[in-house]
Amino acid sequence: MKATQAPAESSAPSADISPEQIEDWIRDHDAATLHQSLSASFQQKVSQQEVEQQLQNFWSKGETPKRLSSMTLNGADKYVWTDAAGQKGVMAMLADNQIISMQFIPLVSAETDLKPTTNGYRMPFQDKWLVFWGGRNELINYHYAYPNQRYAYDLVITHDGFSFKGDPTKNESYYAFGQPVVAPLEGKVVDVVNDIPDNYPVGQMNEQQPEGNYVILDHGNDEYSLLAHFKQGTIQVKQGDVVKAGQLLGECGNSGNSSEAHIHFQVSDAPSLTKGMSIPIQFEHDADPLQGDVIRGQS
C-alpha cells in the first residue's frame, strides 16, 4: 500500500476548486487557470507552457472527462477521470484548496480483465471499510501494473475522512489496526505466517517481507485468496484448517511492505504472491468496488 500524499503548502486560489472546474479546464484546454491552481511547489516543477503542451498532446479539446472515482482521505481529495473510450486517464489530488499532484497517463487494459474468478467472494471484513486501492487501471489501483497483484485491494477504515486519530506514527492510532479479518469464502488454509513485527514508526516499511503476516486459503477451482499485513501474533488459524466464510482469521495489522494498517486482499491462480497470477474477483451481488468506495462487510 502506498501512503496518501500530504497536503502541500502555499497560498490558495480565492474560490474553492471543485472537480467540475477541473473537468472544465481540461475540456477547454485552459492551461492558465489550471496552472494557477497548482500548489506553489508544484508550479516550480511544472510551467504553464508544459501544462498547455500536455493538454494539447494528450486530451481532445471539447471532450469532458468522465469521472471514474473520488476519495477523501487524510486531508486530501483524489479524483480520477477517463475519456469516453477509457483509453486515457487523468488524476488530480487536492489539498488546502490547491492541486498538489496531477497525472495524465494512457490506460492499457489486460486480457485477464474479462476472466473473473469462478467462485463468488465476499470482502474479508466486518462493518464498513474504504477501498484505498482497487479497480482496473493504474490510477485507481497501483497493483494493476504488476500481473501477480493486478486485481488486489487495499482496504482501510476511515472516520470523518481520516484513517487515524492521534499520533500518526503509532499503529494504535489507525482505525483499522486490530480489527477482525475474516475469510472471504470457505476454504482450506494452505500457508500462514504470524511472527513478523508490525512496522513502527508508521511509514517505515518492510520490503524484504512484503506480505508481512498472511493467510493463504485454497477455495478450489485453482483459486487461492491471499490476505496480508496481519497484526503480529493474532492469526487464529493454522495450515490444514478448513474455514467457513466469515470465520475469524486474525486482526488487521501493519506488517510487511505496508505504509499503515490495512488489509491486502487478492485471489490468485497459485498459493503464492510472487508465483501466482492475480484474478479479477467476482463478488456476490455483482459488486465491483473501486477506489473511494465505502463497502459494508460481512457483519
Give 234-279 pLDDT, tens digit per residue. Answer: 999 999 999 999 999 999 999 999 999 999 999 999 999 999 999 9
Q: How many independent structural domains does the chain possess? A: 2
**What does the pLDDT average to over 83-107?**
97
- Contact assessment for residue 77 and residue 70, using Cβ atoms and an 8 Å cutoff: yes
CA-closest candidate to residue 185, choices 273, 298, 276: 298
Based on the fold, state whether residues 56 and 167 are members of the same structural domain. Answer: no
List, in order, residues 6 or more apart from 299 with CB less than 8 Å away.
126, 127
> How many of the other CB atoms lie within 10 Å of CB of 164?
23
Based on the fold, state whether residues 119 and 241 are members of the same structural domain. Answer: yes
Set of cell numbers at residue 111: 486480457
* Inside any domain, residue 167: yes
* Inside any domain, residue 1: no
Give 197-213 pLDDT, tens digit per residue. Answer: 999 999 999 999 999 99
* Inside any domain, residue 76: yes
Q: pTM score > 0.75 for this model? A: yes
Based on the fold, state whether residues 216 and 281 are members of the same structural domain. Answer: yes
- In angstroms, rounded to a whole number, what is the distance separating the alpha carbons of residues 282 and 123? 11
Pairing of strands 120-121, 282-283: parallel
Based on the fold, state whether residues 131 and 262 are members of the same structural domain. Answer: yes
- In angstroms, rounded to a whole number, what is the distance separating the alpha carbons of residues 125 and 240? 22
Q: What is the pLDDT of residue 286?
A: 87
* Inside any domain, residue 3: no
Phi, psi of 109 (to 5 degrees): -95, 145
Q: Which of 106, 130, 159 is the last residue of a domain?
A: 106
* Inside any domain, residue 12: no
Residue span of the structural domain in which 270 resides: 111-296
Give how far Cα 209 sits from Cα of 43, 53, 61, 144, 170, Å. Answer: 38, 42, 46, 20, 20
DSSP labels, 200-225: SSTT---TTSTT-EEEEEE-STT-EE
CATH number at residue 197: 2.70.70.10
Based on the fold, state whether residues 288 and 211 are members of the same structural domain. Answer: yes
Based on the fold, state whether residues 117 and 79 are members of the same structural domain. Answer: no
**At 53, is the secondary structure helix, strand, or coil?**
helix
Give 16-62 pLDDT, tens digit per residue. Answer: 899 999 999 999 999 999 999 999 999 999 999 999 999 999 999 99
- Contact assessment for residue 159 and residue 219, using Cβ atoms and an 8 Å cutoff: no
List, in order, residues 6 or more apart from 4 with CB less than 8 Å away.
73, 74, 76, 78
